[in-house]
Amino acid sequence: MSESLSRRAALKKLALLIGVAGAAGNELPRVAHAAELPHLSPSDPNAMALAYHESAAAVDAKQFPTYKPGQTCDTCLQLQGKQGDAWRPCNLFPGQLVNAKGWCRVWVPKN
Ligand code: SF4
């Protein structure tokens, strides 16, 4: 009888642990896949502060004299993600994607 009770107690503990683990799993933040992240808007205050443009071709070189043709997010050290993707993560705008053909004033050449 005591063996039966201890087995029952062990099963109850196991069920409790599974329940706790399941509840904890539901509360963990969901890790978003890069493709699910929102696109950075040029009107976002942080984007505006760095003069982010979705297209480097639209950059006014007189207004932004540091811009030189050929500078795009795709050639910037800060761009992350998969080569060839149109929208990719940037170290400066966590949680959002920038256009690989875009540009901002802190463009840094890849080594
Ligand atoms: S830091 Fe580089 S990759 Fe990020 S938005 Fe500016 S130019 Fe693009």
pLDDT tens readout for residues 44-67: 999 999 999 999 999 999 999 999
Index of the ligand 1 atom closest to the CA of residue 93:
4
- Find the helix or strand (DSSP H, E) in which 46 lies: helix 45-49
- Quick check: CB of 78 below 6 Å from ligand 1? yes
Can you give the pTM of this predicted structure? 0.73
| pLDDT at residue 108, as a whole number | 97
**Could you report the per-residue pLDDT of 14-27, keeping only the tens digit for each?**
343 334 334 444 44
Nearest in space to 98 (alpha carbons), one of 66, 73, 70, 68: 73
Question: In testing the pocket of ligand 1, which one of 53, 82, 104, 108 has its CB within 8 Å of the most ligand atoms?
Answer: 104
Specify the residue with its C-alpha closest to ligand 1, atom 6.
104
pLDDT higher for 25 or 69? Answer: 69
Residue 59: CB atoms within 10 A of its CB come to 22
Would you tell me how many other CB atoms lie within 10 Å of the CB of residue 104? 27
What number does the ligand 1 atom closest to the CA of 104 have?
Answer: 6
Return the pLDDT at 35: 74
CA 45 – CA 41 distance, rounded (Å): 9
If pLDDT is split at 50, 70 and 90, which confidence band does 111 have? confident
| 3-state secondary structure at position 24 | helix
The whole-number pLDDT of residue 30 equals 53
- State whether residue 106 is helix, strand or coil: coil
